[in-house]
Amino acid sequence: MAAAFRKAAKSRQREHRERSQPGFRKHLGLLEKKKDYKLRADDYRKKQEYLRALRKKALEKNPDEFYYKMTRVKLQDGVHVIKETKEEVTPEQLKLMRTQDVKYIEMKRLAEAKKIERLKSELHLLDFQGKQQNKHVFFFDTKKEVEQFDIATHLRTAPELVDRVFNRPTIDTLQKEKVKGVNHQTRLKRIAKERQKQYDCLAQRIEREKKLFIVAQKIQTRKDLMDKTRKVKVKKETVNSPAIYKFESRRKR
């Protein structure tokens, strides 16, 4: 039964492949159909054209020719293999990029930005270490005035208060008014310590927000690279910045 089934299947397959022919020329072999011949002939011509183009390219090759791609390609077991460039990312960035989505990173970054704005509104940032120092320029007419210049006398304040950038009363104010607020040395030190702690927290949050922004940019760059549009790398990726690509401009339909 199985042999008969196989024989019938072979006969059907033969009927599909070969053209009907008289019985007296069956001993000459299969007479294939025209569509099968065309497929075989087209495949043969395509391979011959490819081989002809390779021979021409090998004959016209310039031995002094150089491509920048050659610096990233090495010969391994007779096959050209492109060296994979290492990604410039820190372990923390890599962990976030693999486990979190860009929307989550952006949400956390915006939360940090709001906390930073709230801390900035609470702190005056007058003696913040990261703040650029202001300059106070005094103008004089003669060199003698420059040599005799005394900043405490000019600002009409006590010499001990000259270095302050805030709460610098004049001598007249000190003589007329009484000292208000906290004046105990221990409490002043505690207040200064708490203020410095707030400034340290602000600096940490600014640094965290910056790192989250970089991670979000790198994730978005990897998503953009999934597009099949032709692109050229303009700038390599670093720890503090993502890679920059220039995409081919396409007209929107």
Residue that the structure tokens 């009409």 belong to: 156
240: Cβ contacts below 8 Å, ≥ 6 apart: 214
Which pair of structure tokens corresponds to residue 107?
């949400």
The whole-angstrom separation of Cα 30 and Cα 36 is 12
Q: DSSP state, 174?
A: H
Q: How far apart are CA 177 and CA 167, in angstroms?
A: 14
Cα torsion angle, 40, 41, 43, 48, sign: positive
**Identity (one letter) of the amino acid at 87?**
E
Q: Give the residue extent of every domain in the chain.
A: 91-224
Q: What is the pLDDT of residue 16?
A: 46
Residues facing residue 247 across a β-bridge: 231
d(CA 205, CA 235): 28
Residue 115: Cβ within 10 Å count:
15
Provide the sign of the torsion angle of the four alpha carbons 128, 132, 134, 135, taken in this order.
positive
Q: Where is average pLDDT lowest: 13-27, 128-142, 212-226?
A: 13-27
pLDDT in tens, 11-31: 544 444 556 777 787 787 777
C-alpha to C-alpha distances, 170 to 136, 157, 164, nearest whole angstrom: 17, 4, 12
- Global pTM exceeds 0.75: no
Tell me the per-residue pLDDT of 176-208, one tens digit each, with 9 for 90 and over.
776 555 556 777 788 778 888 888 888 899 998
From residue 166, alpha-carbon distances to 58, 126, 127, 161, 203 in Å are 78, 7, 9, 9, 21
Task: Categorize the per-residue pLDDT at 128 as very low, low, confident or very high, splitting at 50, 70 and 90.
Answer: low
pLDDT at 62 over 70: yes
